[in-house]
Amino acid sequence: MSLRRVVPVMALFLAAAGCGTEAGQAVPAASSSTPLSATGVPSLPPRPLAVPLDGVDPCALLTAEQRVGFGLDLGPSRGMQPSEDNAATCDWLKKEAGGGVSFVPSMANGVGVWLDGARVGEVTPVSVVGFPAVEVRDESLTPPYCAVAVDVADGQQLLVVNSPSRTQPASTDEQCASAVMYAEAAMQTLVAR
C-alpha cells in the first residue's frame, strides 16, 4: 500500500475530528462511571506527571525496535495538522499488510476538546501507561477509524490515529486496541527521554 493512499485517509480522519460538532453528531453524554466536572463535562483523573511536547519530533516517538515489532516498515511521512495549529505529524505504515499509525503531538489543544463536545466522535475515557486518555471512534467514516488522545501536559495532547489495513479488515474494537498499543509505545518513549 502506498503512502499516497493511506496518508490522505489519515488526514481525512484528523480533519473530521477537528471540525466542530453539527446537530445530531455531538459527543455522547458521559456514562455514569465517568466523573463530571462542575460544568457537567466529563473529567479525567490527574496525570502521573507532565510530559510537555515542546520540541518533540513525532517521527521519533517509536524506537526502531518498536517499529519492527509493529511491522511498520514504510515511512516516515511528515506533515502538518491544521486542526492542531499546524502541529507536525508523522505517519508510519505497514508495506505488506497496509494500515499504520499517525502521531500528532499537539501543543494547541489538550484532551478537553474531546470531552466538551467541540469535536466529533464517540469518546471513551481510557488509560495509557497510567496517563489519562480518551479513545475516539468515528464510525461515520468508511472504514471507521479510531484514535487515542493522551493527556500529557496542560493544554497538550498526544493524538495517535490508527489507520486500518485495506487488505486485512479489522473491527473498530481491534482498531482501537491498535491505537492504544501505539499510544502506549509512544508514551514509553516520551517518558524515557
* 54: in domain: no
* 128: in domain: yes
Total number of domains constituting the chain: 1
Task: State the residue range of the domain holding 131.
Answer: 3-20+60-192
* 28: in domain: no
Tell me the whole-structure pTM to 2 decimals. 0.79
pLDDT band at 120; cut points 50, 70, 90: confident
Return the higher-pLDDT residue of 79 and 20.
79
How high is the mean pLDDT of the chain?
81
Distance between CA atoms of residues 16 and 39, nearest Å: 26
Residue-wise pLDDT tens digits, 90-119: 999 998 878 899 999 999 999 999 998 778
pLDDT at 36 over 70: no
* 37: in domain: no
Cell numbers at 94, concatenated: 505497514
Distance between CA atoms of residues 71 and 97, nearest Å: 9
* 107: in domain: yes
What CATH number should be reported for the domain holding residue 114? 3.40.1000
* 134: in domain: yes
Residue-wise pLDDT tens digits, 149-183: 999 999 999 999 998 887 777 888 999 999 999 99
pLDDT at 3 over 80: no
* 30: in domain: no
> For residue 52, which phi and psi values (nearest 5 degrees)?
-60, 145
* 29: in domain: no
What is the rounded average pLDDT of the residues 51-77? 96
- For cell 488526514, the residue is 11
